[in-house]
Structure 1
């Protein structure tokens, strides 16, 4: 279910939703300040990662949902179950917001891209003999 061919695999691995082999993002999320840099297209199948201008505007809604779920769960846990004060809870939520930014940004874009691109393993370009 979570193996190659599923949308979850593509999102978790950060790979092209069509061939599930080429990387979508240029750098690792915490390796560079340029965590937003995406490849223009898949190196394996040629799928464009920005199929049209402003394609990722819809990913903002996905990001909003992911962030809201994260902050709601952390807030409820810290305020009601751990009985910590508002200052501590909101301070921790601020730190979590900053640290989770690269992950939420990437996951929301990958989810949005997977809404519109389906897995088709037959589209992988095979190397041509004599083209080195």
Structure 2
């Protein structure tokens, strides 16, 4: 179980990296493709601005490469090594996984990127 106050909690839930009180995204569901990257301007609980500077989240593109590779390797291991499938079937599994998990990969990358620059502050939590 991920505990509030950890970077892992903020990364996997998509909540404010400073207070962990609300979602950074306008729509919580990453599969609403028209809203997948729409992020709130700031946290309504602690007033943390999510866009630290213009084009801040361009750096998350580099993170998404690593996250995408992680998903692809997991798909390969599951399909080829566990189910003993052919390389063609493993390749198809990788492509399907990366396409299907694309919105999750994009959000995880943004969450990781912002958590590199911000940390949880327990003093900001409203009681």
Residues 81 and 123 of structure 1, relative CA distance in 2, 3 Å threshold: closer
TM-score (norm 1): 0.83
Residues 106 and 120 of structure 1, relative CA distance in 2, 3 Å threshold: same
Q: Which residue of 1 aligns with 2:66?
A: 65
Q: Which residue of 1 aligns with 2:42?
A: 41
Q: Which residue of 2 aligns with 1:106?
A: 107
Per-residue CA deviations over 1:31-82 (Å, capped at 9, x if unaligned) read 4532111111111111111100121122112111111122123223323443
User: Bigger radius of gyration, 1 or 2?
Assistant: 1
Structure 2 unaligned spans of 5+: none
Residues 125 and 73 of structure 1, relative CA distance in 2, 3 Å threshold: closer
Q: Distance in 2 between matches of 1:79 and 1:13?
A: 30
Per-residue CA deviations over 1:78-113 (Å, capped at 9, x if unaligned) read 234433223322222221111101111111101110
TM-score (norm 2): 0.86
Q: Distance in 2 between matches of 1:71 and 1:32?
A: 21
Structure 1 unaligned spans of 5+: 127-132
Q: What SS does the corresponding residue of 1:46 show, helix, strand or coil?
A: coil
Q: Distance in 2 between matches of 1:32 and 1:58?
A: 21
Whether the 8 Å CA contact 2:30–2:36 is kept in 1: the answer is yes
- What is the RMSD computed on CA atoms of the aligned residues? 2.1
Question: How many residues matched?
Answer: 126
The question of 1:21 aligning with 2:21 is answered yes
